[in-house]
Amino acid sequence: MSLSKEMCQPLSPEQTRFLEKTASQALGVLEEFTDDHITYGPTALQLLDEWIVRSERKGPVSTVSRAQIIAFLGKTFLHAHGGHWATQMQGDRQHLGVLCPVVGPVEHVRFIDITAQVNRRLREGIGASLALAYLTASVDLKGRF
């Protein structure tokens, strides 16, 4: 779905810095989990999916961990596709996501609802894999000619 930039509001610099810091914390958690260097990308999201599965065995994912997952997924999109953090009103609720450019002959952007994707993953399990959602959205962002 293509959206006009006006439908979304960019986050403040302070909010963006908070999400950057939270994504870095998530990166550290994944590096500790794997005992290896991690970079933002689909492989890291596969590891994040695995980390979520293992964490859920111990109990529900904490609010801090949920924020780290959201920040990491958003940062992964921004790292690969550019764009910025934004919110979008859907009905009476504000959704947090990223606004990324779509490659193609006409300039347009796509809002990717990061929070909804993470909530879906935590609710539905690995069938709603973050790695798969990322790869699917990435194909759309690369445009169709």
**What pLDDT does 126 receive?**
96
pLDDT averaged over 10-residue windows placed end to end, the chain, 145 residues: 64 98 98 97 97 96 97 98 96 95 90 97 97 96 73
pTM of the model: 0.93
Fold for 5-141, please state it: Four Helix Bundle (Hemerythrin (Met), subunit A) (1.20.120)
Those residues with Cβ within 8 angstroms of residue 88's Cβ, 6 or more apart along the chain or in another chain: 3, 7, 8, 9, 94, 95, 97, 111, 113
C-alpha radius of gyration, the chain, whole number: 15
